[in-house]
Amino acid sequence: MPSVHGPRRARIAFSDSAAKQLENITSEAEIHALDRALVVISVDPDVGEPIPGDTAGPQLRQYADEVESVRVLYFVTALRTVVVVAYIEV
């Protein structure tokens, strides 16, 4: 029997600095744009481009939506169940 539900989504968590950025977003349009970007990332955490850097920690990735004018820097936990947002630009 096929599954009724779609693909499992990763949970979204915010770093302290990203949470502060989130508090400063007051426009409904910006909130909507960010929400759409976070849904895309939660469904497919590999959607963003890897950012070159140190290989000691988790791979930092960047997702940019040109239409919605949103940029999110994030990394994915080892079990791929949580996406940690490090930086938000709306």
Domain hosting 16: range is 11-89
Position of tokens 């949470």?
Answer: 19
pLDDT tens series, the chain, 90 aa: 555 666 689 999 999 999 999 999 999 999 999 999 999 999 999 999 999 887 777 889 999 998 889 999 999 998 889 999 999 998
**What CA–CA distance (Å, rounded) separates 7 from 28?**
28
Q: Are 85 and 72 in contact (CB under 8 A)?
A: yes
Inside any domain, residue 2: no
The number of folded domains in the chain is 1
In-domain check, residue 68 = yes
Structure tokens at 47: 């959607």
CATH number at residue 51: 3.30.2310.20
The pair of three-digit structure tokens given for residue 81, joined into one six-digit string: 């169940």
Q: Domain for residue 16, yes or no?
A: yes
